[in-house]
Amino acid sequence: MSHRAGFVSIIGKPNAGKSTLMNALVGEKMSIITPKAQTTRHRILGIVNAEDYQIVFSDTPGVIKPHYLLQESMMHQVSGSIVDADLILFVTDINEAHDESDVLDKLKGSSAPVAVLINKIDKSDAEAVKAKVDYWQEKLSPKAIFAISATMDHNIRGVMDFVVENLPEHPPYYEKDFLTDRNDRFFAAEMIREQVFKQYKKEIPYSTEVIITSFEEGENLYRISAEIIVERDSQKNILIGKNGEMLKIVGTYARRSMEDFFQKKIFLQTFVKVISDWRSKKNYLKQFGYED
């Protein structure tokens, strides 16, 4: 029996719904989903295994014009995933007013077939959907166009079938019981970061990095310690909040997400640390896993 396997890159602007789509396709909560743009900073692989195929989905940071080193690293990851791809899913928000020229520029770097996924159609009407389909057909003449709603699971099955049909014949790239190339520490850090995005406004989430300093796996209990890194003392004060109230909220919600994810009791400790301007310093970006 022949086996198919391939790399499928999900690309698009920030907030187009890429992470929600990936989670719907993989069926596990892999990528942080928050209403803020630019939540995904790393390329995260989500792996779908069946007897005769393996799909390696790659959720990438949203395409932006980079303003500092961290963002440049994020854009390198997008370009890398486009070059690697056997198939590209280009996610665009039906209500997106801006043009997608920066995304289209990136697509020029690839010879892989492209499917356009017009997302969030639950927030639109049939006429607008048809107009967008016609627009993309003319602009890109892609291999396929799907009108989807990643949150409502609408047409996700169709996308999945399309992906499987267009995978090249290849043996599996990863062990068949792998769901992702990321380890548990990565997901623990992401769940804390998700809460930072949800609980704080303004620039705080973008100035924050989460480092897991220890991760002890007991049979019934995981003991996890994390450092939340910010760029300035004023951010540290906001993060901790009056009498530590805000940090407590972050810790509580992150712990619940982890218990849900790992199916274990979690003991979580969080500390806040200031490293001034880490987003612009190469050695810290490297340490935090952003440099190739």
Residues tagged in the binding site annotation for GTP? 12-19, 59-63, 119-122
Q: How would you class 234 by CB atoms within 10 Å of its CB: exposed for 0-12, middle for 13-18, buried for 19 or more? A: exposed
**Reduced to 3 states, what is the DSSP secondary structure of residue 110?**
coil
- Position 121, amino acid: I
Map 227-260 to HEC letters: EEEECCHHHHHHHHCHHHHHHHHHHHHHHHHHHH
Query: Per DSSP, what are the bridge partners of residue 266?
Result: 222
Q: How would you class 177 by CB atoms within 10 Å of its CB: exposed for 0-12, middle for 13-18, buried for 19 or more? A: exposed
Annotated binding site: 12-19, 59-63, 119-122
Q: What single DSSP character describes residue 193?
A: H
Token digits of residue 8: 């499928």
